[in-house]
Structure formats: structure tokens, C-alpha cells
Amino acid sequence: MTQANSTNEPVAIKGRSWLSAVGQSLRLVAGDSFALAGLTILFAFIVIAILAPYISPYEPFKAMMTETGRLNRLSPPTSAHLLGTTSFGNDVLSQFLHGFRIALLVGLVAAVAVGFISTVVGVISGYFGGYVDDILMRITDIALSIPTLPFAIVAVALLGPSVENIILVITILFWRNGARIIRSAVLTERERVYVKWARAAGASHFQIIMRHILPNIVRVIFLWVTMSVAFAVLTEASLSFLGLGDPTVVSWGQMLNTAFSSGNLRTAWWWVIPPSVALVMLVSSLYLIGRAYEEQTNPRLRVRK
């Protein structure tokens, strides 16, 4: 590396390609068997979420009737209702399958929004420094003192419980940690020799950020977006479990809330177990991916071979 600073080595003024940076991130993750399992589960969940309306046997909120014309309440799994029915006579399997959509929709949209805001704040703060940095970081400090779920509870109640508002509140809550992490990554990148060279060569701030800073912090952003998906899924599920979710759509948290508040936790295992297990699988997969990623990119954690 020291030799690269001498004359003949062409130091990468061109910067890295975005594609290669992202590709490298994926390769890193695929090297870890736990993370690979996580990726597989995540992929399967996405497929189910896309197919949910086509493969679910009934409308999620349709009341099922028995042959005698009465509401088919709390039926254990049967061939007609593979996962039984709820106390309102809804088909659990159909609700469960629709739950994939909400979880992933909220998770992915909120994570992209969080990733975007964190990156903008982190890069501006880290790259320009000075007063801008001071002000943005003080704001982050204050944001870090806001209790997350209580804020979400109050904000969603005031704004009205809809999927859009939930995504908005999650975004407001989780940009703060990401901004700090990305800022410190930018601080390291900013001091690199090639950034100084690029600046000396007359590149504009925008060019330097796009070509030299961002491609090199892609892995930090990637890690933060992965974790944000998990936080968003968890927050949506918690809100729905507390009865503050969007009442017009089905989500896993809401299913558990209905089972819990109707007092059927113990008996209606077919109603409780699927959403619980799916939530655990989804969030754990994301954490496994994130952890493998951290492990691979932190040189002090890597196994020395």
C-alpha cells in the first residue's frame, strides 16, 4: 500500500464503480452460511409476498360460514382452512399470507427512506464538517433521546393509523442512528489520499461525493438499510400488536393483537404460531445478514487465516 503512493502506480482517480461495490457486498454476505440462510429466507418471503393475493384461498377479512350457515369461529386446521379460522371466522392462512405483503412493504419502503435520509445527513455532515456538522449532529443527539415506540404510538394516533403514516413515523425515528454511522464512515473516506488528489485536480464536491465517497461507503449504507428493514418490520408489528396498525390491511402484529385481546392465545395455536414464527424468521434473517456483513467488513473481527 505504501508503494502505491509512489509515482508509477496510477492511484484510482476514477473512483470505484457502484456496481462493483454492490456486487462485492453481496459476495461478502454469501460467504457466510448463516447469512446465506437469511438471504434464502428473505428471498422466499419476497416471493410469497408478491404471490399472496393469488395463492391465498379466501379474502382475508371474509367471514367464513359453516354448512349450517353459522359463523365458522375458531375452527382448528381443516382441509378447507389449512390454518383454521379466527374468532371472527376469518381464514387464518389467507390473513397470514397477506401479512407478508404488509411486513415487507413497510420494511422495504421505510428502510429505503431511512437509508436515503441517513445517507444525505451523514454525507453532508461528514463531508462538509464545521457548523453544518455541528448543527446536524446536535439535532441527531436530540432525536436519539426520543423514545421510539412511545413516539410512534403517539404520532400514529395523532396522524391516523394508515400504512403511509406508519412508514413516515418509522422513517422519522430511524434516520438518526444511521446518520451517525454513515457520518463516521464519511469522515474516514474524506481523509483518503485519492480524495485529496481529486480535490486538488479540481473535481467539484458533488463529483467527489458521487465518485469517491459514496461507492466506498456503500457497504455501511447497505448494512444500515438491512438493519432498518428489521427495525421497520418490528415497529410496524409492535404498533399493530398494540392495536394502532392500519385497520384496513392485515398484518401479523394485528393478527396477534386480535388473538391476544380476544383471549384465544392458548387455545388457538393455529392462529398464533404462524405470524409469530414468520416475524421471528424475517427479522432474524435480516439480523443474520447484517451480522455476517459486520463480521466480514470489520478487520478486527475476521478470523485470522
Partner 1 sequence: MRAYILRRLAQSVLVVWAVTTIMFFMFRVMPADPTAMLLERGLSEQAREKLLQEWGLTGTLWDQYIAYLANILQGDFGNSFLYRKPVWDVLTPLIINTLWIAVPGLLLGAALGAVLGTAVGWARRGGKLERMGIFLATVIRGVPNFVIGIALLTIFSSTLGWFPEFGMGDPGDRTGFARYFTLEFLHHLALPLIAVIIYFMPENLLLMRSGVVENRTEDYIELVRAKGVPQSRVAWHAARNSMLPLITWLFPALAETIAGIVVIEIVFSWPGVGRELVFAVSRQDYPLAQAAFFLLAVMIVLANLAADLVYGKLDPRVVYK
Distance of CA 193 to the CA centre of its chain: 34
Tell the smallest beta-carbon distance from residue 99 to partner 1 (Å).
13
Q: At what angle do helices 269-297 and 214-241 cross, to 10 degrees?
A: 160
DSSP string, 163-197: HHHHHHHHHHHHHHHHHHHHHHHHHHHHTSHHHHH
Closer to partner 1 by CB, 93 or 283: give it.
283
**Beta-carbon neighbour count of residue 169 at 10 Å?**
23
Among 81, 274, 288, 293, binds partner 1 (CB under 8 A): 288
Query: Using the rule CB under 8 A, is 80 a contact of partner 1?
Result: no
Using the contact rule CB under 8 A, the part of the chain among 22-30, 99-107, 113-121, 156-164 near partner 1 is 156-164
Among 4, 12, 142, 193, binds partner 1 (CB under 8 A): 142
Closer to partner 1 by CB, 138 or 205: give it.
138
CA distances from 81 to 40, 76, 270 (A): 27, 8, 11
Q: What region, left, alpha or beta, does residue 84 occupy, with left being phi > 0 and alpha being psi -120 to 50 degrees?
A: left
What Rg do the C-alpha atoms of the chain give, in angstroms?
24
Query: Using the rule CB under 8 A, is 70 a contact of partner 1?
Result: no
Residue 117 · residue 175 · CB < 8 Å: yes
Query: Using the rule CB under 8 A, is 2 a contact of partner 1?
Result: no
Tell the smallest beta-carbon distance from residue 300 to partner 1 (Å).
4
- Of 212, 204, 191, nearest in space to 129 by CA: 191
d(CA 100, CA 68): 33
Among 230, 232, 250, 255, binds partner 1 (CB under 8 A): 230
d(CA 39, CA 288): 9
Tell the smallest beta-carbon distance from residue 199 to partner 1 (Å).
32
Query: Using the rule CB under 8 A, is 274 a contact of partner 1?
Result: no
Question: Restricting to residues 33-52, which ones interact with partner 1 according to CB under 8 A?
Answer: 34
Closer to partner 1 by CB, 102 or 209: give it.
102
Closer to partner 1 by CB, 70 or 304: give it.
304
Using the contact rule CB under 8 A, the part of the chain among 9-17, 87-95, 196-204, 296-304 near partner 1 is 296-304
Closer to partner 1 by CB, 16 or 291: give it.
291
d(CA 305, CA 300): 13
| Binding site residues, partner 1, CB under 8 A | 34, 141-142, 144-151, 153-155, 157-159, 177, 230, 234, 237-238, 241-244, 253, 256, 260, 265-266, 272, 276, 279-288, 291, 294, 298, 300-301, 303-304
